[in-house]
Amino acid sequence: MKSIHSIVQQHSQSIIELRRYLHSFPELSAQEFNTQKRILQELTDLGLACRPITGTGVIAEIQGGKPGKTIAIRADMDALALVDECGTDYQSQTYGVCHACGHDGHIAMLVGVAKVMVEMREELAGNIRFLFQPSEENFPGGAQAMIEEGALQGVDAIIGAHLWQTVKAGTIGITAGRLMASPDEFTITIKGRGGHCSMPHQTVDALLVGAQLTVALQTIVSRNIDPLEQAVVSLGYFKSGETFNIIPDTAVLRGTVRSFEPTIRNLIFERIEQITKGICEANGATYEIDKILGFPPIINYAEYSKVIGEAGAIVLGQENVLTINPVMAGEDFSHYLEKVPGAFFFVGVGNPEKGIVYPQHHPMYDIDEDALGYGVEIMANAAIMLAKK
């Protein structure tokens, strides 16, 4: 019987070529029609029964020749609304749409795992289910819809991976607990009274109120949250006014809250409300706050993280299996972990020697493509190990 490594080596170039094709033709959330078509073709060519799910997603399963558990592996499919500036032959041909988060690689790796499993079918214990999920980038995400349409029916456990630029190529990052935070959003609309800049005493300056609020909100984490707890409050949008000599009557601030614990999340939003109310009342302004609670945090199951770590050691050596600190980015893979046990891990793709230095969501983002083969091997090994348990 062929080894997993030899099968991956046999298919390594086709995995890279698939990733490059997907990078050239990215599609936004819920618009992954061509991506879906390509995935269906790839799986059909392997002789796998596959079908569309939740609009633009794909689900497939391979049944092994021996009894065992059903293990799901998930890859997300959508790209970002971003101009691609990676400068390669496979740069996006769709202006303003870019695979700058690695989802093209996730798809290619999962197709690679399918190729491995097809060749090992007779020796495979249990079943491996392949979940190609749309709409990860746009809240509320595609995971919940996949679940509602039966993606986890009969599944005993699930694993997934994310290509991660800050982790060095040739290594993986894994943790037995917290991995990714819950990403929440908020919008604060301040209403004042506009007027001429030469007569500020006749106005309630919404821009000034917004500026005070911008500074004050940064005290929440530093002064209200235990320094040993992880939390973020950041503003990414502040819009007020249209010209230099008119005091604006409206200011809009938008930001994000990142946390792991419900009590911390609640405390942060309470303080946002209290601080906004106090500053607005002190200045004679009114306000509205709209919030969107995002995905749950990803909290890995320890025993499944251990198996992924063991699979990583088989492929890369124990010294290249890194226990990493949690990150404050969010991922809707967490919805799957609310239903079945499993774990999520990072496959390192950063490589300064190859110029792979730009982070996720950057227009010049790219990956060290050697990592794709490592990811396929690790997920295949982990899934086979888990199906036997």
Sign of CA dihedral 139, 50, 101, 315: positive
Choosing from 42, 78, 104, 369, the catalytic residue is 78
Note if 136 is an active site residue: yes
Residues of the chain with CATH 3.40.630.10: 4-179+297-388
Q: Are 151 and 95 in contact (CB under 8 A)?
A: no
pLDDT tens across the length of the chain (389 residues): 689 999 999 999 999 999 999 999 999 999 999 999 999 999 999 999 999 999 999 999 999 989 999 999 999 999 999 999 999 999 999 999 999 999 999 999 999 999 999 999 999 999 999 999 999 999 899 999 999 999 999 999 999 999 999 999 999 999 999 999 999 999 999 999 999 999 999 999 999 999 999 999 999 999 999 999 999 999 999 999 999 999 999 999 999 999 999 999 999 999 999 999 999 999 999 999 999 999 999 999 999 999 999 999 999 999 999 999 999 999 999 999 999 999 999 999 999 999 999 999 999 999 999 999 999 999 999 999 999 97
Q: Tokens for 253, please give them.
A: 């601030």
Tell me which of 136, 205, 368, 369 is the catalytic residue: 136
H/E stretch holding 20:
helix 4-24
119 is annotated as an active-site residue: no
For residue 184, the cross-strand partners are 257
Residue ranges, comma separated, of all CATH 3.30.70.360 domains in the chain are 182-292
Residue 388 carries which side chain, given as an amino acid letter? Answer: K
**Candidate CATH numbers 3.30.420.10, 3.40.1190.20, 3.90.1640.30, 3.40.630.10; the one for domain 4-179+297-388:** 3.40.630.10
Q: Checking phi first, is residue 47 left (phi over 0); if not, alpha (psi -120 to 50) or beta?
A: left
Q: Give the C-alpha separation, 248 to 28, whole Å.
A: 35
Rounded Cα distance, 94 and 101, in Å = 16
CATH no. for 182-292 = 3.30.70.360
Its pTM surpasses 0.85: yes
- H runs (alpha helix) in 187-261: 206-217, 219-224
Region class of 114: left (phi > 0), else alpha (psi between -120 and 50), else beta? alpha
Strand blocks (E) in 316-355: 321-323, 342-350
